[in-house]
Amino acid sequence: MSYVGKVVLVTGGSAGIGAEIAVHFAREGADVAIVGRNAENLHKVAARCAKVGKLAFVIKADLSQDEDVRFIVKKTVEHCDRLDILVNNAAILKSSSIFTEDLMEAIDDIFKVNLRAVIQLTQLAVPHLTKTKGNIINISSILATSTLSCPQFLPYSVMKAGLEHFTRFSALELAPSGIRVNAVCPGPVKTEILNNAGIERPCEKWEKLSPLKRIAQPEDVAEVVLFLANAKSVTGSYYVIDNGLKISF
């Protein structure tokens, strides 16, 4: 599929899933804007995009800060003249539970990035996506609907559950404007966020528990995102990428 002439905005684009999404879109001819906090890593991803397509436009921003969120869409449209696809990928993961003293702090921190920023970016992007009949893809998680016997991920899971419901509501509300909204729900993916999740040898653990005996790679998620960005009859849906893990719990 070709995305020549399309402008794609990817948050959390400095590493992992977001980086692969950016590179995959660039390979298919899209103009890509990537957002993150680490400028050095963003420029590395931009260079990867240039090797397969066009150099990505880098936006250094902290999605926990309202003032940063407000200029992301504005800068993208100023630089690229339009917006066709918004990929809300940025997220933080903190271990916390009912029995830890930092629960409310974790709830607040994760809410800002994993849910509030998504809602705010969606609202800011809608006028531009209406013009292009574009679409939004939210990166959720199977933890939105399953505990995976990991109570320490309570704050993260609650926000992802909220994100999935926001996906459905926004899909319904934005359909008359010609805007589609969908979610991708990965299970464990081989990224730094998984390695830092506080689980001993996470890749080995989830590979053994998975019916397919493998763990997803960032490119697995990117491929589904590119499919959804072009799936004209799909909205309000969520696609699970977990090697069958969810059905085994």
Structure tokens, 32: 């890509």
* Residues 166, 97: Cα–Cα separation, whole Å: 24
Q: How confident is the model at residue 160 (pLDDT cuts 50, 70, 90)?
A: very high
* Identified catalytic residue from 3, 156, 238, 239: 156
* Residues 88, 18: Cα–Cα separation, whole Å: 9
Contact predicate 34/46, CB 8 Å = yes
* Residues 69, 90: Cα–Cα separation, whole Å: 12
Structure tokens, 93: 């993961």
pLDDT digit string, tens, across residues 5-63? 999 999 999 999 999 999 999 999 999 999 999 999 999 999 999 999 999 999 999 99
pLDDT for 101: 96
C-alpha gyration radius of the chain: 17
pLDDT digit string, tens, across residues 101-157? 999 999 999 999 999 999 999 999 999 999 999 999 999 999 999 999 889 999 999
Structure tokens, 104: 């409310």
* Residues 52, 58: Cα–Cα separation, whole Å: 17
What is the b/e burial string over 1-33, where b = at least 16 CB atoms within 10 angstroms of the residue's CB? eebeebbbbbbbbbbbbbbbbbbbbbbbebbbb
156 is catalytic: yes
* Residues 209, 2: Cα–Cα separation, whole Å: 36
Q: What letter would DSSP give residue 55? A: P
pLDDT digit string, tens, across residues 181-239? 999 999 999 887 766 666 666 778 888 899 999 999 999 999 999 999 999 999 999 99
Residue 233: helix, strand or coil by DSSP?
Answer: coil
Measured distance between the N- and C-terminal CA atoms of the chain, rounded to whole angstroms:
35
Alpha helices in 16-92 (DSSP H): 16-27, 39-52, 66-80
pTM, to two decimals: 0.96
pLDDT digit string, tens, across residues 68-88? 999 999 999 999 999 999 999
* Torsional sign, CA 160, 177, 226, 50: negative
- Domain parsing of the chain, residue ranges: 7-248
Q: Which CATH superfamily is domain 7-248 in?
A: NAD(P)-binding Rossmann-like Domain (3.40.50.720)
